[in-house]
Amino acid sequence: MRGRTVPIAVLAAAGLLYFTPPPAAELPDPPTSSEGYRKLGPFHLRPALALKDLGYDDNIFLNESDRTSDLTATLVPSLEAVTLFGHRGRLDVKQSLDLVYYLDTSSQNHLNSLTDIQGRVLLNDFLYTGTLTYDTSRIRPSNEIDERVRQKVGTVANGLTWSPDDRNEIGFELKRQTYTYEDAASLYGSFYTDLNRRELTGSLLAATRVRPKTHLTLDLTHTDIRHERAGLDRDAVVNRLLPGLRFDASAFLQGGLRYGFMEFTPDDPSHADYRGPAGDADIGYRPVARLRFTADYKRDVVFSIFGDNLFFLMERFGLQASVPLSHRFRISAGAGRATYDYREAVSFSGFSGLRRDQVDTVWVGWSYAIPGRPRLGFRVVRWDRSSNFELAETSRYRVVGEASYEF
């Protein structure tokens, strides 16, 4: 069947591939009190409380013809727990809640929850990593959907990494994700449940150190996507081949980047496909001791329910800078642009053709670290979306503060 199998020759070429867990030679050191952890029996605990998005939003529904403003706040209690099993086993558990509140628009009040469990076992040169996460949140799933839709994402992943020496890593990961959306009609008449799906991904991942703080990486993945409603003919397979670089946290550059080739092949040949560049990056750069730049990039496909479109192509780039004015006070600013290109023509409410959106974001803010563990912050954000689909054109202005405290 078309696109179902990754060519064996390509798999054989992936001799060195990128993998995110640490090298299998050792597990991370035990958490310490300096990192905010407190020991209770066999557990290292780190409770925290954050208040974010505290402020004003002048367009909470992203509706240009009927703008609604409100005061908002989100309270986020969380707890991290770590337990060690000698020097060869570690279990990390994190639970966080988002209590989202709107002063006047009570229909938007909601609760988000994230549970993240990760276990690691060291077996000589091999590191096994098992991950279980469950995320239920009422969010805007993509640029296309302006309503806050309840989305539930469950992830089960198993990975094995082999580190034969201190330079090389090679591993395999098998991951299963399920996406479930609330049963309601969208602005376009489609149902959010059209996005309900299961994604099964197999990855070959490895890295080799080419400089003391730089790894050359390669990531080869194959994803099989099956939708809940088989009659919609929305199933597809995705193959990615992404070479890249990874930089240590203490290096002149920090973070990493991947950029390569992606093949998105629908089972139904009447849908448009995509074969072309894809990748992501998140890189920090410190030209002088007190100034830091961060750049992020992503190019990928996103599932769509706009007309007959199975997906749209997203490309996003952002840049931000921060500089400390004192030991505790820091100012920062950033800007970003994202484009969203649809591949199948639509006729809808006076619009006919291929939809294309562009979103520009500009923000400026500051943060202050109070003695102890609290941190305060403030940000002003301007968000603008232009589109050849007139109903999508809108803007948003937000003035928000945040505070966090680790007990």
Write down all domains in the chain, each with its CATH number in brackets: 8-406 (2.40.160)
* Tens-place pLDDT, residues 2-12: 444 444 333 33
Banded model confidence at residue 250, pLDDT cuts 50, 70, 90:
confident
Of the chain, the percentage scoring pLDDT greater than 70 comes to: 92
Residue 6: per-residue pLDDT: 41
The contacts of residue 345 (CB under 8 Å, 6+ apart) are 307, 352, 353, 354
Banded model confidence at residue 155, pLDDT cuts 50, 70, 90:
very high
pLDDT score of 200 more than 80: yes
Mean pLDDT value across residues 371-399? 94
The two tokens of residue 215 are 């790894």
pLDDT score of 81 more than 60: yes
* Tens-place pLDDT, residues 23-75: 444 577 767 666 778 888 889 999 999 999 999 999 999 999 999 999 999 99
Residue 87: per-residue pLDDT: 85
> Which element (helix H / strand E) includes 257?
strand 253-266
Residue 21: per-residue pLDDT: 41
pTM: 0.90
CA distance 180 to 175: 17
Mean pLDDT value across residues 116-141? 96
* Tens-place pLDDT, residues 276-324: 999 999 999 988 878 999 999 999 999 999 999 999 999 999 999 999 9
Radius of gyration of the chain (CA): 23
CA distance 56 to 117: 34
Mean pLDDT value across residues 94-122? 97
Residue 33: per-residue pLDDT: 60
Place of tokens 């994202």: 338
Mean pLDDT over the full length of the chain: 91
Residue 34: per-residue pLDDT: 60
User: CB count, 10 Å around CB of 197?
Assistant: 19
Residue 26: per-residue pLDDT: 59
Of the chain, the percentage scoring pLDDT greater than 90 comes to: 80
CA 107 to chain centre: 27
C-alpha closest to that of 351 among 388, 386, 385 = 388
C-alpha closest to that of 168 among 17, 375, 287 = 17
**150 DSSP 8-state letter:** E
C-alpha closest to that of 294 among 253, 244, 353, 266 = 253
CA dist list (Å): 285 to 109, 255, 289: 39, 9, 10
Q: What is residue 64's three-state secondary structure?
A: coil
